[in-house]
Chain A
């Protein structure tokens, strides 16, 4: 195999012939790449939207075994470097469609077509939108989905964080180091986040939590100037400068809708960990219906998927 291009053969139509295409660029794809390279499977990793995945946008990771604390960007960079050192082949390309063709899968990407015997879908998920008025209008003008990226622009500002899971609380803690005042609204009366994170937020000096509260509207002229909330006491208006949303994730599965069974929420159905409804297609990480979505479970999926491809090829 040509290690620079991943080209192992060409069909008459000009497509590349491979044993495995790994779609995605986050921890699940990187682990699958590492294991595939070590199994000597002829492969290519198509780093689609957002190389490094959601993990790369996480400020601090403290729950990956063996590493006390590390930034998301650093851990995915280390994973990629390790995979490349074993011969993993990466290409920056977005998968547009994936269709079964006899015993192969035809993958159409930005500028190439790949014919592969096996596919690992590890395309992850993007932040979901809440769909409230003002959300789209003020995106990049006070509305953000990434505190790690945008917190420094809100130094000494007042911000709202929406959500109650690990991401919301973790990113709120990161934001609290920059802003003068942080209000977190959560639609329930307790957090879904890890108790350690929840306690840390509740004891944060410049943070306030409004329970059983939802965001109704984001207001402003050129940028965010305030919000209207639904609280148990009725509607309430708050003056503030930024809104950070952590209300779930939308799996990036559209190109694979004709290939494998999806759940109603768009995740790939994997009743038997990493195995999908098609024998030669596997799924790993946040794109699946796994109940726990962490880096540690994503890399486990990636390793299992590569191992399953290796077994299938024997």
Chain B
């Protein structure tokens, strides 16, 4: 499943799921590591489709979201479960590292 683009007013709905985790990638068009992360997220989202919903949010399109979530750098990925933040990852991750971390997180939170 592809990474779905959302705006700040979509966050509440996107993160409220109880049967799956939600990951929001806060990124920006001018950020080189964000561009590097895009293909990684696309691959990982294909593999973890049954456990995690993946979203992409442009911090310039949704400036309020940065202050609401205390974003001070991009890319920042925040993982939510049942509306609560359960993990925050800052900076680029390669596919192996990201997938392992997310799988462990999903296994520990989803029974």
- With A48-B94, A92-B39, A110-B96 already in contact, the answer to whether A142 and B31 are too (CB < 8 A) is no
CA distance A288 to B51 in the complex (A): 41
CB within 8 Å of A: which of B24-40? 28, 30-36, 39-40
Given contacts A92-B40, A141-B70, 15 further A-B contacts (CB under 8 A): A50-B36, A50-B92, A52-B32, A56-B32, A92-B43, A92-B94, A92-B95, A93-B95, A140-B73, A149-B31, A149-B32, A150-B72, A150-B74, A152-B28, A152-B30
Give min CB distance, A55 to chain B, whole Å.
9
- Out of B33, B40, B76, B90, name the residue touching A57 (CB < 8 Å): B33
**Contact indicator B72/A154 (Cβ below 8 Å):** yes
**Contact indicator B73/A73 (Cβ below 8 Å):** no
Give min CB distance, A63 to chain B, whole Å.
19
CB within 8 Å of B: which of A132-178? 139-142, 144, 146, 148-150, 152-154
**Contact indicator A153/B31 (Cβ below 8 Å):** no
- With A48-B94, A140-B90 already in contact, the answer to whether A242 and B72 are too (CB < 8 A) is yes
* Mask of B34-76 contacts with A, CB within 8 angstroms, 1/0: 1110011001000000000000000000000010001111101
Residue of B nearest to A94 (CB): B94
The reply to whether the CB of B109 lies closer than 8 angstroms to some CB of chain A is: no
The reply to whether the CB of A223 lies closer than 8 angstroms to some CB of chain B is: yes
- With A110-B95, A223-B70 already in contact, the answer to whether A140 and B33 are too (CB < 8 A) is no
* Mask of B66-90 contacts with A, CB within 8 angstroms, 1/0: 1000111110100000000000101
CA distance A188 to B31 in the complex (A): 32
- 10 residue pairs, one from A and one from B, having the closest CB atoms: A140-B90, A150-B73, A73-B32, A110-B96, A56-B32, A94-B94, A153-B72, A51-B36, A149-B31, A140-B73
- Out of B33, B74, B76, B95, name the residue touching A50 (CB < 8 Å): B33
- Out of B33, B72, B91, B92, name the residue touching A141 (CB < 8 Å): B72
CB-CB < 8 A to A94: which residues of B?
A: 94-97
* Mask of A275-294 contacts with B, CB within 8 angstroms, 1/0: 00000000000000000000
- With A94-B94, A140-B76 already in contact, the answer to whether A148 and B32 are too (CB < 8 A) is yes
CA distance A80 to B96 in the complex (A): 23
CA distance A137 to B76 in the complex (A): 15
CA distance A49 to B92 in the complex (A): 8
The reply to whether the CB of A233 lies closer than 8 angstroms to some CB of chain B is: no
Q: List 29 A-B contacts (CB under 8 A).
A: A49-B92, A49-B94, A50-B33, A50-B36, A52-B32, A56-B36, A57-B32, A73-B32, A92-B94, A94-B95, A94-B97, A110-B95, A139-B90, A140-B73, A140-B90, A144-B72, A144-B73, A146-B33, A148-B31, A149-B34, A150-B72, A150-B73, A150-B74, A152-B30, A153-B72, A153-B73, A154-B72, A223-B72, A242-B72
- Out of A50, A52, A96, A140, name the residue touching B72 (CB < 8 Å): A140
- Out of A56, A110, A149, name the residue touching B74 (CB < 8 Å): A149
The reply to whether the CB of A72 lies closer than 8 angstroms to some CB of chain B is: yes
CB-CB < 8 A to B95: which residues of A?
A: 92-94, 110
Residue of B nearest to A109 (CB): B96
CB-CB < 8 A to A222: which residues of B?
A: 70
CA distance A94 to B94 in the complex (A): 7
CB within 8 Å of B: which of A199-230? 222-223
Give min CB distance, B77 to chain A, whole Å.
10
CB within 8 Å of B: which of A237-256? 242
Give min CB distance, A124 to chain B, whole Å.
13
CA distance A111 to B28 in the complex (A): 29
* Mask of A94-132 contacts with B, CB within 8 angstroms, 1/0: 101000000000000010000000000000000000000
Residue of A nearest to B76 (CB): A140
Give min CB distance, A223 to chain B, whole Å.
6
